[in-house]
Amino acid sequence: MSQRFLRRWLRGSAVAGLLLGWTLASPMLRAGDAGAGADVFKSECAECHSPKQGKNKKGPSLFGIVGRPAGTAPNYKYTDALTQGKWIWTTDKLHWYLSQPARKANPGTRMKYDGLDDPKQLDDLLTYLGTLH
């Protein structure tokens, strides 16, 4: 094997390795445990949110939240901070929103929540939220 070929081959496999690592890691980052996520939900969110369809508490029902446009749960009176938000709640958007104080992520919101620091708990919670359909 010539030096040049070897060098190119090594570089090629490093790139392939990176790509493979990235492809494997990205779904894994979100592969939380839904059962543990249900417990996180109970301790962090259930005071104000129900996972049941149509059941609003202090906050709107989170049934079907992943994939739902912001501020659209039926019969819930939102602040403008959410009704004027024109985004869809994807897992990534929820990750961003829930990892910091709600009022920082969404100025003007009525949601009083300081964010979830623990990345594992957050991944578990997001996996659980994804099952609410």
Give residues 20-79 in contact with ligand HEC (rule: CB under 6 A). 44-45, 47-49, 58-60, 62, 65, 70-71, 73, 78-79
Q: Which of 38, 66, 98, 132 is the binder for ligand HEC (CB under 6 A)?
A: 98
For 48, counting Cβ atoms within 10 Å of its Cβ (0-12 exposed, 13-18 middle, 19+ buried), the class is middle
> SS3 of 16, please?
helix
> How far is it, in rounded angstroms, from Cα 123 to Cα 61?
20
128 touches ligand HEC (CB under 6 A): no
* Residue 65 and residue 132 in contact, taking contact as beta carbons nearer than 8 Å: yes
Binding footprint of ligand HEC, residue count (CB under 6 A): 26
Structure tokens at 106: 């969404």
**Least Å from the CB of residue 52 to ligand HEC:** 14
Binding site for ligand HEC (CB under 6 A): 44-45, 47-49, 58-60, 62, 65, 70-71, 73, 78-79, 81-82, 89, 94, 98, 109-113, 116
